[in-house]
Amino acid sequence: MVSRQCAPRNRSRRTVLRSICAALGVWMALCTIGRAASGSGLRLGDICRLKGQETNTLHGLGLVVGLRGTGDSDAAPTARALARMMQMMGGPMTTDRFGQLNLDDVADARNVAMVFVTAEVPAVGAQPGDSLDVTVNAINAKSLEGGTLMLTPLLGPRADIPMVYAMAQGALSVSLDGPPTSATIQGGAKMEAAVTASFHQDGLITLVLDKDFASFDTTQRIESEINNFSQLTQGGLDADSSSLASARAIDQLHVEVQIAEAYRNDPIKVISFLLTIPIQLSSRSTRVVINEREGVVVIGEDVEIAPVLITHRNLRIEAGGSPGFVAVDGAEVSANAKLKNLADALNALDVPTEDLIAIIKTLKRKGDLFGEVVFQ
């Protein structure tokens, strides 16, 4: 693979470090895919998860107090919420002749802001007493710096079941690199009700492939491996392997697995065994990953291009016909018409990364690039 990265001279050290981290992240991801192609011990659990084991987001509306005059201004919803909270806590709130709270007492409070509060429950679920990190985003305030979130109930994702799963509160932490209207509270939410991951029903489980491995070929391979009796006899299971489980590929993302009747009372044993089955995948080195914001291009080893003549500014490179790329000065660049060789040629001529990205886009748009192009 070829990785190219160019940073402007005036780019800050922090931006350069982020670029390097982004490049390493993409490189590591593609190395994982390459490891799958070479068959170096990749197992089924490395490329998929069980349906039902997804992250869930809890959400709620809350109030942040203690701001330095950067809160909501002339916001009636914020004033009403503050008045109700003060009333619930025994505060001296007056009412009109209809029994409605008098908002005049809190209308000018600029150190208060209404916020949207979220917390993410991990895929394995959470139990009462567990702590979750909290994200707080302002609705109308200019800044949340120095504020404190008042006790806020967090509901589940289903609007038809308004159940409180957690309570959030605490001092806000505003990132120096992020917007002042967004903040976090480490461990600021405490679970009040359990969130469990339901991953099987009547012995039926569904495997969901990671998007980097999703393809019809991969799901078909998984179906064959699970249904292969010789594979299933490993792992110390005593029953006849033919009655253990059966798999069926649904699409390029999902594989349904039916656990045999004899094992439905012990599905964990079967699932843990299935997820350790070795899996061989076809080569995924025909992929190009582009991060335009950071100026990073990662090119798979087997990405090829059709015979083309590339003219860019004062540059002229021809691919095809001859054994490889020929630059305008007649110097041979490569023996194969592969995209990585074109990238090497452009790099040798000090062509900026943004120009390489533009060329790749044009080749893909014309149908002259044989591989997948992924933009991050």
Q: Name the more confident of 3 and 166.
A: 166
Q: Are 39 and 284 in contact (CB under 8 A)?
A: no
pLDDT category at 243 given cuts 50, 70, 90 is low
Element spanning 63, H or E: strand 56-65
pLDDT category at 196 given cuts 50, 70, 90 is confident
pLDDT surpassing 70 at residue 320: no
pLDDT surpassing 80 at residue 36: no
Q: Name the more confident of 327 and 359.
A: 359
The pLDDT of residue 30 is 40
Counting residues of the chain whose pLDDT is more than 90, the rounded percentage is: 20
pLDDT surpassing 50 at residue 221: yes
Domain ranges of the chain: 2-39+284-375, 44-52+200-274, 56-73+110-191
pLDDT surpassing 90 at residue 260: no
The pLDDT of residue 256 is 92
Predicted confidence (pLDDT) per residue in 299-316, tens digit: 887 788 888 787 777 777
Give the range with max mean pLDDT: 223-237, 273-287, 362-376. 362-376
The pLDDT of residue 249 is 92
Q: Name the more confident of 4 and 267.
A: 267
The pLDDT of residue 346 is 84
Report the candidate in 370, 234, 209 with the shortest Cα–Cα distance to residue 302: 370
Alpha carbons within 13 angstroms on the beta-carbon side of residue 175 total 10
Report the pLDDT averaged over residues 66-83: 75
Minimum mean pLDDT range among 14-28, 34-48, 154-168, 251-265: 14-28
**Lookup: tokens for 362:** 């044009």
The pLDDT of residue 235 is 47
Report the candidate in 25, 27, 15 with the shortest Cα–Cα distance to residue 294: 15
The pLDDT of residue 100 is 66
Sign of CA dihedral 223, 225, 228, 233: negative
User: 287-291 and 372-375 as β-strands: parallel, antiparallel, unpaired?
Assistant: parallel
Report the candidate in 190, 189, 172 with the shortest Cα–Cα distance to residue 181: 172
pLDDT surpassing 90 at residue 354: no
pLDDT category at 201 given cuts 50, 70, 90 is confident
pLDDT surpassing 70 at residue 41: no
Distance CA 220, CA 255 (A): 9
Give the range with max mean pLDDT: 68-77, 185-194, 242-251, 329-338. 185-194
Distance CA 149, CA 237 (A): 53
pLDDT surpassing 50 at residue 214: yes
Buried b (16+ CB within 10 A) or exposed e, 333-372: bbeebbbbbbbbbbeebebebeebbebbeebbeeebbbbe
CA 33 to chain centre: 17
SS3 6: coil
Q: Are 245 and 274 in contact (CB under 8 A)?
A: yes
Distance CA 365, CA 367 (A): 5
Element spanning 86, H or E: helix 76-88
| Average pLDDT taken over every residue of the chain | 76
pLDDT category at 79 given cuts 50, 70, 90 is low
pLDDT surpassing 90 at residue 2: no
pLDDT category at 23 given cuts 50, 70, 90 is very low
Q: What is the CA radius of gyration of the chain?
A: 29
